[in-house]
Chains A and B, each alone.
Chain A
C-alpha cells in the first residue's frame, strides 16, 4: 500500500503537483488524467528524480522520499519511461539482468529469474539479441521485463502502450494483468488507452492540474462527471 499525502512540486512558476494526496491499495491501479496533469511528475517523485517541495510518501511502511534515487530501485521501485529507455547497446538479457547486477539479492537463482522475466513478456526468441535490433513494441517489453525482474515492490508503468498497435497492446495488457500474481508487486499504470486501463485496473485515480479529482473503482471513475469534463472540456468552456 502506498500513502501519498500533500505532495507539491513546483518548476519555477509552474505548480506541477498541487498538494496531491492519494492512497493506492495492492494490485494494479490506474492513474489517468489529461496531458500535463502531473502523472509523469508523480512517477518522477516516486523514483527520486524530482524532489517535492512538500509532502510525504509512505510505501509499505517506509519513507520513500528519504531514500537515494538509485537505492529505490534496489529497494523495489521499478519503472518504465514514457519515451522507452531500453539500453540499445546491450542485449535483452543484459538489460534485464542489470537490476540484479546492481542489487544485493542472492545470486543463486539470478539467471533463472532473469530468463523467467524475459519469458514472461514473451521475448525468449530474442533474449540474446541487442536491443537496437528490436522493434518499438519489443523494446517496450524489454522495459517491462526490467521492471518485473527480481523482487519489485512497486512497478510504475508510464504510458507503456503509447504508439503500440492494437494487437501488441492486447499482449501488453495480458502481461500487466499478470504482474501482481507473478511478482506480488503493486502496479501503477498511467495510460491514455482507457480500454487498457479498465481491463487492467480495479481502481483508478484521476489527476487534473496537479490535483486528485477522483479515485475509486475504475468503471465508476470513468463515468464521473468531473473526470469526463477534465478530459473533454467543460460545456461552458466549449460554448
Chain B
C-alpha cells in the first residue's frame, strides 16, 4: 500500500523519468571509437619497431593500471600486489601456450579466470583491513608469489604444464596468435584486448557494482545502511581487477615472447601504484596515462641515452605533487592547466595589443 500511495500522492511534484543515456554519450562514444581506430591503423605506420614494442607494453600496463584503478579509485582499497598478479597471469598463459594448442583468445580468457580466482584469495584480507595494513599484506603476498615463481624457475620454456627442461639455452619463444605474428600486428592485437578490458570495466563502473563501490569508497556505514553487501562488492572488485590483470599477463607473454621472473619485481607494484595515482585513479583515462608513464617514458629516455632509473625520482616527485595539489591526477589536472595557460597567453597578447594601441 505504502509504495503505491507514495507514488500517486507525490505525482504533482514527481520528477520526470531518468534519461536513458547521458547527454553527449553517442558523440563521445564516436570520438573514442575513431581515436581507437586511428591508434590501431596509424600508429604502426608512423612508429619505428622500437616504439611499436613500447606501445604494446603501454597497452598491457594500461590494463594493469585499469585494474588497480578499480581498487584504488573506485573502492578505495590499496593493493601493492598487482605486479605479482600480472606475473600469475603471464605464467598461466605461458604454460597454457606451451602445453596446449588452444586459440590465443581462449588462453587469455583462461589466464584471466585463473588469475581472478587466485587474486580474489589475495583480496580476502581486504575484507577485514583497509589502508596501510591492506597495502602491507598485499605487498607481502606479492613478495611471496615472486619468491615462489623464482624458485620454480618461472617460467622456463619446456613443454607440458610443468615446463621445466633444465636447458636454459634452448627455450623456445612463447607463441603468438596466428593473426598477429609480427610486432605491428601484435600491437594491434593488444590494443584490441585492452579496449575489451576497458569496456568490461566501464560497464561495471556505470552500473550497479560501480554505484555500490562509490558508496563503499565514501562511507562504509552509509553503504551498509543502504543494504549493500560490502563484503561481496569488495571481493567483486578484487575479482574484476585480477581478471583484467590476468588477461594483461597473457597479452604480455606473447608480447615479450620470453618471460623471466626477474621481470616481475615486488617493487614494480609500488611504481604501478605511483603511476596510477599520477595518471588519475578516479578516471579510466588515467589508466592510459599511467601506462604511458610506466612504459613509454622509460622507452623515450632509453632512446635519448638517459638512464630510466631517474624515473623513480621523477615518479616520487609526481606522486608528491598529486597528493598535495592534484588528487585527481594528470588526466584531470592537465586540461585545467592547459586552459589556464591558454587564458594566460591570450590575456597577455590582448594586453600587449592594448599597449600597442595606446602607444600609437
- 10 closest Cβ contacts across the A-B interface? A73-B227, A85-B222, A124-B15, A127-B15, A102-B227, A119-B13, A119-B10, A116-B7, A112-B7, A119-B14
Is A98 located at the chain interface by the 8 A CB criterion?
Answer: yes
Determine, out of A4-12, A24-32, A86-94, the stretch whose residues face the partner at the interface: A86-94
Number of interface residues of B (CB under 8 A): 33
Do A109 and B4 contact each other (CB < 8 Å), given the known contacts A81-B221, A87-B222, A101-B211?
yes
Q: Does A49 contact B (CB under 8 A)?
A: yes
Q: Which of B200-232 contact A (CB under 8 A)?
A: 208, 211-212, 214-215, 218-219, 221-222, 224-230
B215/A116 in contact, CB under 8 A? no
Q: Which residue of chain B has its CB nearest to the CB of A75?
A: B227
| Nearest chain A CB to B271 CB, angstrom units | 27
| Cβ-defined contact, B6 with A90, below 8 A | no
Q: Does A69 contact B (CB under 8 A)?
A: yes
Query: By CB atoms of chain B within 10 A, which of A89, A94, A118 has the most?
Result: A89
In the assembled complex, the CB of B231 is this many whole angstroms from the nearest CB of chain A, namely 8
Using Cβ atoms and an 8 Å threshold, which residues of chain B touch A73? 224-227
Cβ contact of B227, chosen from A70, A89, A116, A125, cutoff 8 A: A70
**Contacts A47-B224, A79-B225, A88-B218; A116 near B14 (Cβ below 8 A):** yes
CA distance A185 to B3 in the complex (A): 11
Contact between chains at A115 and B15 (CB < 8 Å): yes
**Contact yes or no, A124 B14, CB < 8 A:** yes
Q: Are B221 and A70 in contact (CB under 8 A)?
A: no
One of B6, B214, B224 near A87 (C-beta < 8 A): B214
Size category of the A interface is: 35 or more
Closest Cβ–Cβ distance, residue A182 to chain B (whole Å):
5
**Per-residue 0/1 for A64-75: is the Cβ within 8 Å of any B Cβ (1 yes, 0 no)?**
000001110110
Q: Is the CB of B224 within 8 A of A116?
A: no
Q: How far is the CB of A61 from chain B (nearest CB, A)?
A: 18
Which residues of the partner chain A approach B15 to less than 8 Å between Cβ atoms?
Answer: 115, 118-119, 123-125, 127-128
Report whether A111 and B14 are in contact in the complex, using a CB–CB cutoff of 8 Å: no
Contact A113 B17 (CB under 8 A): no
Partner of A182, one of B5, B18, B212, B228: B5
Known: A49-B221, A70-B230, A89-B214. A151 touches B2 (CB 8 A): yes
- The interface residues of chain B lying within 8 Å CB-to-CB of A112 are 7, 14
B1-30 interface bits toward A, Cβ cutoff 8 Å, 1 = contact, 0 = none? 111111101110111111100000000000
Are A89 and B3 also in contact (CB < 8 A) when A115-B14, A115-B17 are? no
**Chain A interface residues (CB < 8 Å from chain B):** 47-49, 69-71, 73-74, 77-79, 81, 85-90, 93-94, 98-99, 101-103, 109, 111-113, 115-120, 122-125, 127-128, 146, 148, 150-151, 182-185
Given A99-B226, A120-B10, CB of A90 within 8 Å of CB of B2: no
Q: Is A89's CB under 8 angstroms from B14's CB?
A: no
**Please, which residue of chain A has its CB at the minimum distance from the CB of B19?**
A128
Distance from B287 Cβ to chain A, minimum over Cβ atoms (Å): 18
Residues of B within 8 A of A148 (CB): 6
Contact A113 B214 (CB under 8 A): no
In the bound assembly, the distance between CA atoms of A47 and B4 in angstroms comes to 26
Q: Is the beta-carbon distance between B13 and A122 smaller than 8 angstroms? A: yes
Choice from B19, B212, B226 contacting A146 with Cβ under 8 Å: B226
Question: Could you tell me the distance in whole angstroms from the C-beta of A14 to the nearest C-beta in chain B?
Answer: 20
Smallest beta-carbon distance B352→chain A, Å: 38
- Which residues on the B side are within 8 Å of A117 (C-beta)? 6, 10
* Other-chain residue from A47, A90, A124 in contact with B215 (beta carbon distance below 8 A): A90
CB closest residue in chain B, given A71: B227
Contacts of B1 in A (CB 8 A): 184
Q: Which of B1, B211, B227 has the most CB of A within 10 A?
A: B227
Q: Is the CB of B14 within 8 A of A99?
A: no
Residue in contact with B218 in the complex, picked from A49, A87, A94, CB distance below 8 Å: A87
A124/B228 contact (C-beta < 8 A), A85-B219, A111-B18 known:
no
Chain B hits for A109, CB < 8 A: 3-4, 7
CA distance A216 to B3 in the complex (A): 31
**Partner among B11, B214, B228 whose Cβ is within 8 Å of the Cβ of A90:** B214
Q: Are A103 and B2 in contact (CB under 8 A)?
A: no
Contact among B3, B13, B212, B222 for A113, CB-based, below 8 A? B3
- Beyond contacts A49-B224, A113-B3: 10 other A-B pairs, Cβ-Cβ < 8 A, are A47-B225, A48-B224, A70-B227, A70-B228, A73-B225, A85-B225, A112-B14, A113-B6, A113-B7, A128-B18
| A183 adjacent to B7 (CB under 8 Å) | no
Q: A89, A93, A116: which contacts B10 (Cβ < 8 A)?
A: A116
Nearest chain B CB to A121 CB, angstrom units: 10
Residues of A within 8 A of B7 (CB): 109, 112-113, 115-116
By a CB distance below 8 angstroms, the chain B residues around A102 are: 212, 226-229
A110 to chain B, nearest CB (A): 9
A109 smallest CB distance to B (angstroms):
6
Q: How far is the CA of A132 from the CA of B144 in the complex (A)?
A: 42
